[in-house]
Amino acid sequence: MSNRSYPSVWSDLREVEFSQGFLQAGPYRTRYLRAGDESKPTLLMLHGITGHAEAYVRNLAAHGEHFNTYAIDFIGHGYSAKPRHPLEIEHYIDQLQHVLDTLGVERAYLTGESLGGWVTAKMAAHHPDRVERIALNTMGGTMANPQVMDRLYTLSMAAAKDPSWERVKARLEWLMADPAMVTDDLIRTRQAIFEQPDWLAACTANMALQDLEIRKRNMVTDEELASIKAPALVLWTTKDPSGPVAEAERIASLIPGSALAIMDNCGHWPQYEDAETFNRIHLDFLLGR
């Protein structure tokens, strides 16, 4: 048996003081992974489309030292409530506001990857009173590339209709610059979510944003980016499958006073692929260092 490095959810969490649970956030049963405690400022970590809280298992320990950190499952995702209607950005924002209300938190730090970044940017633009600092990690919502949208839709729906090992693996490999990061452990974690009886309906609902007409009315406009008052970090990668570094530069140029960070040799999940570098850049920004 080889002695190669093998990241897994449990090995990532083995020395982390964390909890897993559910909040009844308004109408939305919301699953979370949590590290840190109430003496610290609140940080919400928000995953991408068809994703789940485990996207952040390699970041909970570092962030829990400084923040009351919650990685949540969006509605229509993971093990959270699954509304039976197409999910648009306003629905995710509604969930976030209910989560903050349930936690008794007026203002929080937000970090989001892909869809999570899209929701974070909209939240900061329209509800500035609830946001301290934001990190936009390979964010979605500023582009409508039919090839990317079609690829994402095809891979996601194929895995929803038939959550076989190979289909789930293919969906995860889209995220990574290095396919070796898609371990058996990660595949099984996501496969179990995709095997839920209500997953096909949920995936159909959360894929609404890959429909061009729906996407266009939900996109983050240049005006919205320019209106963001919260200190912002725009983080991108050199191998992101959703768009080029030039898009990150454009986004950063529009958000007043924002910081820009580019990570090498990562795809759409830099917080997982190179957690050490991500945690350093991310915490330096969130803590104002």
Half-sphere exposure for 6 (CA within 13 Å, toward CB): 10
- Strand residue runs (E) in the chain: 18-25, 28-35, 42-46, 68-72, 108-113, 131-137, 232-237, 259-263
How far separated are the first and last CA of the chain, in Å rounded?
43
Using a 10 angstrom Cβ sphere, with 0-12 exposed, 13-18 middle and 19 or more buried, the burial of residue 232 is: buried
Three-class DSSP category at 50: coil
Beta carbons of 242 and 215 less than 8 angstroms apart: no
pTM recorded for the entire structure: 0.96
Residue carrying the six token digits 């499958």: 241
The DSSP output letter for 73 is P
Task: Decide: 89 and 141 in contact? Cβ < 8 Å.
Answer: yes
Could you read off the pLDDT tens digit of each residue along the chain, which spans 289 residues? 344 567 788 888 888 999 999 999 999 999 999 999 999 999 999 999 999 999 999 999 999 999 999 999 999 999 999 999 999 999 999 999 999 999 999 999 999 999 999 999 999 999 999 999 999 999 999 998 888 899 889 999 999 999 999 999 999 999 999 999 999 999 999 999 999 999 999 999 999 999 999 999 999 999 999 999 999 999 999 999 999 999 999 999 999 999 999 999 999 999 999 999 999 999 999 999 8
User: Distance between CA atoms of 196 and 192, rounded to whole angstroms?
Assistant: 7
